[in-house]
Amino acid sequence: MIQFDFSTIAFFVFAVLTLGGALGVVTNRNLFRGTIWLMVSLFGVAGFYVLLSAPFLAAVQVLVYIGAIAILFTFAVMLTRSLTRLNVRYTRLWPSALGAVLLFAMLVIGVIWPVFGGNEMYSLPLSDVVRTTSDLGVALVSGEGYVLPFEVASLLLTGAMIGAIVIARDADEEELEQ
Amino acid sequence: MVPLSWYLIVAAALFSIGVFGVLSRRNGVAVLMGIELMLNAVNINLVAFWRYNTTIASVTEPVPSELNGVVFAAFMFVVAAAEVAVGLAIIITVYRNWRSVIPEEADTLRG
Amino acid sequence: MDVLNEWAFIGVFLVLSPILPILPIGAAWLLRPKRANVLKSQTYECGVETVGDTWVQFRVQYYIYGLIFLVFDVEMVLLFPWAVAYHKLDFFAFAAGLLFIFLLTDALIYAWRKGVLVWR
Amino acid sequence: MDCTGLCEVLTQGGTDPGLAQFLSILIGVVLVVSVPLVTVIFLIWIERKIAARIQDRIGPNRVGPFGLVQTFADLIKLLIKEDITPASADRLLYNAAPILSLAAVALIWAVVPFTPYHFGVDLEIGALYFVAVASLGTLAIMTAGWASNNKYALLGAFRVVALLVSYEIPLVFALLVPVMLAGSMSMFDIVNAQAGMWFVFMAPLAMLLFFISSQAETGRAPFDLIEAESELVAGFNIEYSGMKFGMFFAAEFLHVFTNGVLITVLFLGGWYFPGWQMPLIAFMWLGLKAFIPYFISLWIRNTVPRLRIDQVMRFNWFFLVPLSIVNVLVLAFLVMILKEIGWVPVDETGAMALADATFIELLPMTIVLFISNVLICLPIINRLRRTGSDDRVADEQRAQHAIAHAAGD
C-alpha cells in the first residue's frame, strides 16, 4: 500500500513539526515563545510545499513568515509589553477545546475520509511534470492569466501599508507628546 | 508518495488547532497567531488539491489555469501579510489607548 | 522526482548544519570549568542590581519599519516570478509588472511624506 | 530518483539503492559543510592580518609561521573558557540562538556553485533560497536578545533587527537584477548567463547596492552602531560568553566572506575568467574573485567611521531603497527597448538569452546599460554630497550655538 520512501518519512517529520508547533502556539503562556513555536509550525508547512512540488512557495513561506511576520509579531509582543508576563488567560477553555475536536472529527469523518480516503484517483498526483517559477511568472502577468488579481494584490498591499501606518502613527505621536 | 487525504487530515488538524487558539485566548496577539495557523491550513489544502488534481497537457506550452493552486497560495501570502500588518497595528493602538489587549474590552464603538 | 532529490540534499544539510556550531559548543561544555555562583549568573547590566522589567517600553517606530519591510517582502513574492519570466515577456506583461511596482512605490512615497521613515 | 556518480558506484558495490542514495547525499553534504568550516578558520587569521596592516600594526605573529596557528590557539582558549548562562535567561532559546546564527550562514553554501561540476545542489529557486535562509539569522538575533533577559541585549536586538530588515529591501531589489538578466533564479544559470559578459559591467549599480546592503547585513562598520564594541555595550550578545559568543563571531566572519562569494556568483561571473577554463582552476578563480569584495569590505570596516542610527536609517530609506527601485525599473525598461531594436541576443523563440552570446554580441547592450547606470548615479551622488554638507553645517551651527549659550551664562 504505502511505501516508506524518503518522501513519506519527510511527510511525517513535517506533520510532527507543523502540528507540534501549532500546539505549542496555543498552549504556551509566553507570547514570545509562542511566536517561535509559530515559526516551527510554519516551517513544517514550508516542508509540505516542497513535498507538493511547489518549492517556490516553500522559499516564500520561510522568507515571508520567518523573515518578516515573525519579526512583526515579536515587535508587537514587546510593544504590548506587560502581556508577556500575563498568566495564561483562557476564556471558554473547555468549550473551545471541545469545539475544535468536534470540528476536526467532523472534517475527517464527514468530508475527507468518505470523499478522498478510499478514492484511488487521489492516491497519486495526476502528472509527474511540474510547472516552474518561470511559468508562474508568465501566468501571473499574462492577459489570459491572473494579471487583474496581481494588480489588485498590489493595491491591497498599498492600502494595508497606508492603513497600518495611519493607525500606528497615532500611538507614536501621542507618545512623543508625553 | 502519500495520498491526498493525508495532507487534508494534517490541514484539518492545523485548522482545528487554529480555531481553538482563536476561541480560547483572550490576548489579541495570540488570536492573530491562531488566525495565521488557520490561513496556513487553507494554503496546504490549496496546494495539495492543485498537486493531485491538475493534468498538465503539454510541457512546453503552459496554460495559466494549470498553476491556479500556486497562484492562489501566493495571493494568500498577500492577504495574510495585509491582515497581520493591520491587525497588529490595531492591537498596538488599542493597547496604547486602553492599556489592554483583550479585544472584548475595546468596546467604545459599541452602540 | 529529480526535484525531490535536490531537496533531500537541502533536508540533510538542514539537519547537519547545526552540528557545525554544536560540536565546538559541546566540546567547550565538556572542557570548561563549571563553577557557577549566584553573583556570576546575575544579569550583566551595570554592576548594580537590575531594576524593573526587562521589557522596557519600545517605540512604535520599530513596528513601522517592520511593517514596511513586510509589505516589500510580500511584494517580492509576486515580483520574483515576474523577474524570472522577464526574458520572454511581451510588452503588455512587462507593463503589468511595472504598474505593480509603481503602485507599491505610492505607499513608500506616502510613508516618506508623512515622515514616518525618519528615525526620531 | 536518479542515481549517478558516487551513488552508482555504491550500488554496484552491493549496497541497497536507497541506502546508497542516502550515503551519497550525506557525503555531499559533509563535503559542502566542510568548505565554510575550513574557510572560517583561515578567514579569522586573514582578517586580523589585514586589519593590522591597515592600522599599521603587525597582527598575530607569535604562534606558528606568520601567526597562522593563532586561530587554533584562540579556539582552545575559547574551549576552556567558563560559559555563564544568566539565571534569568530562557535557557533553551538562549542556547539555540548562537547555533541558529551560524547554521543560517552555513546553509547559504548549499547553493553556491564552486565549479561547473562541483556544487552542493542546483535549486531552481537558488537566489530566493539564499534570501530566505539569511532571514533565519535575523530571527536568531531576535531570539538571542530576548532570551538573554537583559535590557541592553533586548534594545540592541531591536535596533539590529530594525536595521537588518531595512537593508534587506535594497538587497532583494538588487538581487532582482541578475535574476532578470539570467531569466532564472538558479545560481548555476546565473553564472552561465555571464559566460560572455559579467553582470558587473551591465549593472554596476545593482552590484554596488548589493554590496552596501550586504555589508549592513553582516553588521560591519560603518553599520556596526548596534554593537559599537569600542564604545557601547556589546548589543544583543552582551550576556554571551565562551564558545557561544565565539559562534556569533564565527557567523559574522563567515558571513562577510559568504557575501563575497555571492557577489562573485551573482555579478563577477562566478568561475569564469577570460580565456582559461578548467574545473580546478575554476574553483581558484571563484575564490580569488571572492577575495576582491571581501577585501574591500574589510578595508571599509577598518577605515570608515561609525554612523549614527538615524543616519544609517536615513541613508537606507531615502537613498538606497528609492535608488534600488529606480534601478530595477530603468533596467527593465531599457532591456525591453534594446530587445525591440535588436541589440539583445535572443534565442529562436524570441526570448532574451545571454548564456550562449559572445562578448562582441553583448557589447552594445552592455555599453547602453552601463551608461544608464552612471546617469542614474550622478544626481544621486550629488544629492548625497549636498545632504552631507548641509548636515555638517547644521551640526556646526548647533555646536557654535551651544558654545555661545554656555559662554553667555
In this prediction the ipTM stands at: 0.89
Q: What is the pLDDT of residue D35?
A: 81
Average pLDDT score over chain D: 85
Say if B73 falls within a structural domain: yes
pLDDT (tens digit per residue) in D113-153: 888 777 778 888 889 999 999 889 899 999 998 888 877 78
Contacts of C114 in chain A (CB under 8 A): 165, 169
User: In this model, does residue D231 exceed pLDDT 70?
Assistant: no
Contacts of C78 in chain B (CB under 8 A): 74, 78
C14-23, D18-27, D196-205 — which is least confidently predicted? D18-27
- Are A96 and B5 inside 8 Å of each other by CB? no
Residues D48 and D99 reside in one and the same domain = no
User: In this model, does residue B40 exceed pLDDT 90?
Assistant: yes
How far does C62 lie from chain D, in Å, by closest CA? 6
- Are A158 and C53 inside 8 Å of each other by CB? no
- Are B64 and A60 inside 8 Å of each other by CB? no
The structural domain count of chain D equals 2
pLDDT (tens digit per residue) in A115-168: 777 767 777 777 766 778 888 888 888 878 888 989 999 999 999 999 998 888
- Measured N-to-C along each axis, helices C91-114 and C60-85 cross at an angle, to the nearest 10 degrees, of 170
Contacts of A144 in chain C (CB under 8 A): none
CA atoms within 13 A of residue D111's CA, in its CB half-sphere:
32
CB of B76 within 8 Å of any CB in chain A? Answer: no
Q: Quick one: average pLDDT of B41-69?
A: 82
Reduce the DSSP state of residue D80 to 3 states and report it. Answer: coil
- For residue B48, give the CATH number of its domain: 1.10.287.3510
pLDDT (tens digit per residue) in A56-98: 999 999 999 988 999 999 888 888 765 445 555 677 788 888 9
Q: Which of residues 6-45 of B touch C (CB under 8 A)?
A: none
Nearest to C55 among A53, A78, A169 (CB): A78
Provide the domain limits for residue B29: 4-105
Residues D187 and D282 reside in one and the same domain = yes
CB of B105 within 8 Å of any CB in chain A? Answer: no
- Are B6 and A11 inside 8 Å of each other by CB? yes
Q: Quick one: average pLDDT of D267-290?
A: 80
Contacts of A59 in chain D (CB under 8 A): 125, 128-129, 131-132
Q: What is the pLDDT of residue C1?
A: 43
**The three cell numbers locating residue D104:** 543560517
Q: What is the pLDDT of residue B34?
A: 93
> A108 Cβ partners below 8 Å, 6+ apart?
B9, B12
Subunit partners of chain C (3 or more CB pairs within 8 A): A, B, D
Residues D245 and D146 reside in one and the same domain = yes
Tell which wins on pLDDT, D198 or D17.
D198
Burial A162-176 (b: 16+ CB within 10 A, else e): bbbbebbbbbbeeee
Interface of A with D (CB under 8 A): 5-6, 32-33, 36, 39, 55-56, 59-60, 62-63, 66-68, 70-71, 74-75, 78, 132-134
How far does A112 lie from chain B, in Å, by closest CA? 6
Please state, in angstroms and rounded to a whole number, the distance separating the CA atoms of residues C68 and B85. 9
Please state, in angstroms and rounded to a whole number, the distance separating the CA atoms of residues D34 and D190. 24
Reduce the DSSP state of residue A90 to 3 states and report it. Answer: strand
How far is residue D353 from each of residues A24, C77, D180, D197, measured CA to CA in Å? 49, 24, 11, 12
A90-94, D7-11, D244-248 — which is least confidently predicted? D7-11
CB of A90 within 8 Å of any CB in chain B? Answer: yes
User: In this model, does residue D282 exceed pLDDT 60?
Assistant: yes
Neighbours of D189 (CB within 10 A): 22
Residues D225 and D317 reside in one and the same domain = yes
- Minimal Cα distance from C66: which residue of B? B85
How far is residue D370 from each of residues D265, D354, D380, measured CA to CA in Å? 19, 16, 16
How far is residue B13 from each of residues A52, A105, A107, B21, measured CA to CA in Å? 18, 9, 9, 12
pLDDT (tens digit per residue) in D339-358: 888 888 888 777 888 888 88
Band (D1; pLDDT cuts 50, 70, 90): very low
Site from C84, C90, C118 to mutate, D interface, most D CB atoms within 10 angstroms: C84
- Are C73 and B74 inside 8 Å of each other by CB? no
Say if B86 falls within a structural domain: yes
Contacts of B84 in chain C (CB under 8 A): 70
- Are C70 and B77 inside 8 Å of each other by CB? no
Provide the domain limits for residue D88: 81-408
User: In this model, does residue A1 exceed pLDDT 50?
Assistant: no
Nearest to B81 among C60, C63, C74 (CB): C74
For residue A110, give the DSSP letter: I
Reduce the DSSP state of residue D352 to 3 states and report it. Answer: strand
Nearest to D128 among A59, A74, A134 (CB): A59
CB of C92 within 8 Å of any CB in chain D? Answer: no
Say if B22 falls within a structural domain: yes
- Are B89 and C67 inside 8 Å of each other by CB? yes
Interface size between A and C, measured as CB pairs under 8 A? 157
Q: Which CATH entry fits the domain spanning C2-114: 1.20.58.1610, 3.40.47.10, 3.10.20.30, 3.40.50.300?
A: 1.20.58.1610
Site from C67, C117, C118 to mutate, A interface, most A CB atoms within 10 angstroms: C67
CB of B63 within 8 Å of any CB in chain C? Answer: no
Percentage with pLDDT > 70 across chain D: 92
Residues D4 and D124 reside in one and the same domain = no
- Are A157 and B81 inside 8 Å of each other by CB? yes
How far does D56 lie from chain C, in Å, by closest CA? 33
Q: What is the pLDDT of residue A84?
A: 47
Interface size between A and B, measured as CB pairs under 8 A? 259
Residues D250 and D126 reside in one and the same domain = yes
Tell which wins on pLDDT, D2 or A166.
A166
Domain edge (last residue) among D14, D45, D80:
D80
Residues D278 and D299 reside in one and the same domain = yes
pLDDT (tens digit per residue) in D176-190: 999 999 988 999 889
How far does B102 lie from chain C, in Å, by closest CA? 19
Nearest to C55 among A50, A84, A128 (CB): A84
Number of H helices and E strands in chain B, helices first, is 3, 0
pLDDT (tens digit per residue) in A11-63: 999 999 999 999 999 888 888 889 999 999 999 999 999 988 888 999 999 99
- Minimal Cα distance from A67: which residue of D? D135
pTM: 0.91
Residues D33 and D114 reside in one and the same domain = no
C80-84, D58-62, D227-231, D399-403 — which is least confidently predicted? D227-231
Contacts of B20 in chain A (CB under 8 A): 26, 96-97, 99-100
Q: Quick one: average pLDDT of D250-274?
A: 89
How far does A88 lie from chain B, in Å, by closest CA? 8
Nearest to D143 among A36, A68, A75 (CB): A36
Say if B111 falls within a structural domain: no
Say if B94 falls within a structural domain: yes
Rounded to the nearest 10°, the torsion over CA A25, A30, A36, A40 is -30
Question: With contact defined as beta carbons under 8 Å apart, do D266 and D210 qualify?
Answer: yes
Nearest to D161 among A39, A66, A71 (CB): A71
Residues D181 and D311 reside in one and the same domain = yes
- Are C100 and A151 inside 8 Å of each other by CB? yes
Please state, in angstroms and rounded to a whole number, the distance separating the CA atoms of residues D370 and D205. 9
Question: With contact defined as beta carbons under 8 Å apart, do D20 and D7 qualify?
Answer: yes
Site from C5, C84, C99 to mutate, A interface, most A CB atoms within 10 angstroms: C84
User: In this model, does residue D34 exceed pLDDT 60?
Assistant: yes
CB of C85 within 8 Å of any CB in chain D? Answer: yes
How many whole angstroms from its chain centre is CA B72? 12
**The three cell numbers locating residue C113:** 511624506
pLDDT (tens digit per residue) in C3-52: 567 888 888 888 888 888 898 888 888 888 877 777 777 776 665 555 55
Residues D174 and D277 reside in one and the same domain = yes
- Are D123 and A55 inside 8 Å of each other by CB? yes
How far does A116 lie from chain D, in Å, by closest CA? 27
Burial A144-153 (b: 16+ CB within 10 A, else e): ebbbebbbeb
Nearest to A66 among D124, D135, D146 (CB): D135
Site from D121, D225, D239 to mutate, C interface, most C CB atoms within 10 angstroms: D121
How far is residue C117 from each of residues A70, B8, C68, D82, measured CA to CA in Å? 21, 43, 9, 43
Nearest to B92 among C63, C71, C78 (CB): C63
The structural domain count of chain B equals 1
Interface of D with A (CB under 8 A): 1, 18, 22, 90, 93, 123-125, 128-129, 131-133, 135-136, 138-139, 142-143, 146, 154, 158, 161, 165, 168, 183-185
Residues D58 and D196 reside in one and the same domain = no
